[in-house]
Amino acid sequence: MSGDALYLNADCDATLGQHEVDAATRRRARLLTLHALIGCGHDDVALVEARPADEFCDYLESLGLGRPRWLELPDVAEDLRFCPLGYNPAAHALAERHARAEPRCALDVSRRVNARSFGSELERRLFGADVHVVRDLAQLERALAALGTDAVLKLERSAGGQGLHRVRGVGAATGLDDATRAFAERALRRDGVLVVEPWRERIVDFAVLFDVARDGATRVVSMHQTSQTRDGGLIGAMLGAPPEIAAEERSETEAASARVGAALAAEGYFGPVVIDAFVYREASGARRLRPLVEINARRPMSMAAARLRARCFGEQVLSWRFVGRKRLRVAPEQRTVHGLARALGELAYDPARRRGVLLGAPLHAELDGERVALAKLGVCIVADDAPAARALEVEMRRRVGG
């Protein structure tokens, strides 16, 4: 067969470390595997760690988007090409069970290049960034004093903007507040390292997707704008529209990506890469580009939505978004796939017009024999352009929350 076995292992970054992830993180990751369903074409299969409610597959089929096939691990589709979000130990083991597993680098290489300390030290070396990698509280205090401004602390391993702590009012005479000290002590005890960066007032967040060949050649696949929380947590991505950056910023980003790709190849890495980047405004008002914020040596979290767009929506824009279940403002009886679609009214995806708000993940699943509600839902907003997609999102949030 010619299809792919999609495995959206959202804990791939966290599980590259030497410590065990906590039960809550593992549970969230198991449910997030269901977000791969929308990426399945006719010949594809989603490898999931919870059983999706039938109503979601019925819903996609009723809209003419096909009925996704899925297999619950440990079952696999041995004859399909294995296509994970990223290669952690579990993905390496699953790849061995697929006859058409793609070439992949050694696990120790993935561990090294996905560590935040590696990316920060590379950013400092290549671009002269004012970032610090610290290994004890004394080094942390010196780094914060050297920055002399608000800062952000980052864990060695986490994903989607998680594992961050903002430090406000930093100066040479300012000691660590209790919350910062507690965060740093936990991080250093767990990982032995912590990344410290100046806080920036971001204007545009975006991602660069590229492939690194074994010889270090880099091919930029696409750039898209991302949506983040104020603290840097991933909310979504605008697929099919270029990020709102200047032409010279795009050129600078492409050149930076080539340098990063060569550095990754020198470490023994080859395969897909996602670089987080942003444009920010300095205190003087000047606009500045930070072309390397984080390295994710894997596919993007939006990979299933990107496959859906390529398969069904051609040149249209698809805005993929996470939606928090707790933020929904609909009656309990509407908290089903079809109930939420009815609550959206004319905003709901219309297969005749090929526009509107499409639910991108089940609302319920069976996990360890129990029916559970997904805390993080997915939405795909299909529109002609980015402004139209944003307008639809505003109206969606006004009507149903999220």
3-state helix, strand, coil in the chain (%, to 5): 35, 30, 35
CB 167 within 8 A of CB 260: no
Q: Which of 47, 67, 48, 69 is nearest to 59 (CA)?
A: 67
Whether omega before 242 lies within 30 degrees of 0, making that bond cis, reads no
Residue 172: its pLDDT value, please?
46
Q: Which of 49, 36, 105, 37 is nearest to 76 (CA)?
A: 49
Instruction: Give tens-digit pLDDT for 68-94.
Output: 999 999 999 999 999 999 999 999 999
Q: Strand, coil or helix: what is 47?
A: strand
Instruction: Give tens-digit pLDDT for 102-130.
Output: 999 999 999 999 999 999 999 999 999 99
* Mean residue pLDDT across the chain: 94
Both tokens assigned to 88: 């952690």
Residue 228: its pLDDT value, please?
86
Mean pLDDT calculated for residue range 208-231: 91
Provide φ and ψ at 202, rounded to 5°: -75, 145
Residue 340: its pLDDT value, please?
94
Q: Domains in the chain, start-ordered, CATH in brackets?
A: 4-106+301-400 (no CATH), 116-198 (3.30.1490.20), 200-296 (3.30.470.20)
Query: Model pTM?
Result: 0.94
Instruction: Give tens-digit pLDDT for 33-54.
Output: 999 999 999 999 999 999 999 9
Residue 198: its pLDDT value, please?
94
Mean pLDDT calculated for residue range 206-220: 94
Instruction: Give tens-digit pLDDT for 349-385.
Output: 999 999 999 999 999 999 999 999 999 999 999 999 9
Task: Name the burial class of residue 368, with classes exposed (0-12), middle (13-18) and buried (19+) by CB atoms within 10 angstroms of its CB.
Answer: exposed
Confidence of residue 174 (pLDDT cuts 50, 70, 90): low
Q: Which of 375, 377, 372 is nearest to 357 (CA)?
A: 377
